[in-house]
Amino acid sequence: MAYRQTIGRNSFVFESLRDLLAKASPPRAGDRLAGIAAGTSEEMAAARMALADVPLRQFLNDAVIPYEDDEVTRLIVDSHDAGAFTAVSTLTVGAFRDWLLSPGATMETLRQLAGGLTPEMIAAVSKLMRNQDLILAAKKCEVVTRFRNTIGLPGRMSVRLQPNHPFDDPKGITASIVDGLLLGAGDACIGINPASDDPAGIGELLHLLDNIITRLRMPAQGCVLTHVTTTLDLINKGLPVDLVFQSIAGTEAANRSFGINLAVLKEAHQAGLSLRRGTVGNNVMYFETGQGSALSAGAHHGVDQQTCEARAYGVARAFDPLLVNSVVGFIGPEYLYDGKEIIRAGLEDHFCGKLLGLPIGVDVCYTNHAEADQDDMDNLLTLLAAAGVTFIMGVPGADDVMLNYQSTSFHDALYVRELFGLRRAPEFEDWLIHAGLAEPDLSLRRNDVPLPELLSRLNLELPP
């Protein structure tokens, strides 16, 4: 079906809903690289005007990737909650935007609506929204998940403590973990990106995390971010796995490039559940995504990168995750060129994830060859905190020495906590006080003692 829009004396034709979505997207390098972006600002405006008049029902009848060609499309269509959709089924994309910003869109109505929305509907409406609209609408959403603590409650923001090391050195990782705990990080999870995919090395890291969490009696969850099939093998060998991790994308072909499909994710989910390691809940999956992954794999089917990203959230939603993380600037300037594009993408991803009912966090980050700097990250971090982001990253010094990219530090998390009065997961907060790392008023204690003495106080020791 073609879509037409006239502006002044110029008429524009968009060959399909897929083409219309791509042309309506805010400017970004990936869509330009793919040759699907609007050629002029006038064409972009025309696409948005035409998109505003598209009924939401149209997205149920006109798949951007055919049903018979893609298992992600089949998942989205087959899992759609028609009953929940009834509340907005008569609206166009433009009217849906207006409703989202109205008093009628409350925390409870949005929770009930989530299953009735498809990723493409949410991607479409985001293209009509200003940054402030994305912030306001996302702020209305509450998504709560649980494993050893409770994540996503109103007025709270969690932090993934990311103690990566270029050689997976246990001493270096342990020192980074202690550094993060002293600064109140770790309630989302303690998550290590391993430098090696060797199963024996992954097993050592799993034992290291389990030992620290167990000895400190800490209500937190650990994760080694290795391939899901490696984790499955280690679960079968009896290793202590809390969260099952996998990077995912929004098309079947892109997921195939990651070495996965929906059946593998289902098997991993069931394996994680079978361990019953959670204490207050059993959300066991941790997914990471990022705009541009489908394009970088040559698997985008002509769909714009932001819509592909929203479809990845459709995959995540099927497995009831504890955490979903958009690593927004990690792939590079070929997909998000500069700070402006990264900021916009981060707000879009957070909005789309929250509206679809996901516990969405954002790795506020950039690569060193992007036209961005830490001031851009400060801006995005502040906007996401205002929007109610579920969690962010905590990296020593904001500089990941293993992945070689710039993210947010433990101190950055303290900044937004103080600015917005954001608290940690309640169980983790209580533990910080009990462990002597925080005062009853939740202010952190300043520990100037040497590391060996501090480790002794915490009943820890550096590995040999």
Q: Which pLDDT belongs to residue 464?
A: 65
416-457 pLDDT, tens per residue? Answer: 999 999 999 999 999 999 988 898 888 887 666 666 766 776
The maximal CA–CA distance of the chain, rounded, in angstroms, is 76
DSSP state string for 250-278: SSHHHHHHTT--HHHHHHHHHHHHHH---
The 285-289 sheet, strands edge to edge: 244-247, 285-289, 323-327, 360-363
Using alpha carbons, select from 59, 131, 85 the residue that is nearest to residue 303: 59
Q: Region 363-382: what's the mean pLDDT?
A: 96
pLDDT of residue 460 exceeding 90, the answer is no
Q: Classify burial at 197, counting beta carbons within 10 Å of its beta carbon; exposed 0-12, middle 13-18, buried 19 or more.
A: exposed
The answer to whether 202 and 226 are in contact (CB under 8 A) is yes
Rounded to 10 deg, the angle between the 374-386 and 410-420 helix axes is 40
246-281 pLDDT, tens per residue? Answer: 999 999 999 999 999 999 999 999 999 999 999 999
Q: Tell me the pLDDT of the chain averaged across its residues.
A: 95
For residue 380, what are the contacts with CB-CB under 8 A and spacing of at least 6? 328, 342, 343, 346, 347, 362, 364
Q: Region 24-43: what's the mean pLDDT?
A: 97
117-144 pLDDT, tens per residue? Answer: 999 999 999 999 999 999 999 999 999 9
Q: Region 330-341: what's the mean pLDDT?
A: 95
What does DSSP assign to residue 39?
A: S
Q: Which pLDDT belongs to residue 420?
A: 98
State how far the Cα of 398 lies from the Cα of 372, in Å rounded to an integer.
Answer: 14
The whole-model pTM stands at 0.96
Q: Which pLDDT belongs to residue 436?
A: 86
Share of the chain above pLDDT 70, in %: 96
Q: Which pLDDT belongs to residue 64?
A: 97
Local confidence band at 462 (pLDDT 50, 70, 90 cut-offs): low
The answer to whether 419 and 382 are in contact (CB under 8 A) is yes
CA atoms within 13 A on the CB side of 220: 34
CB atoms within 10 A of CB 66: 10
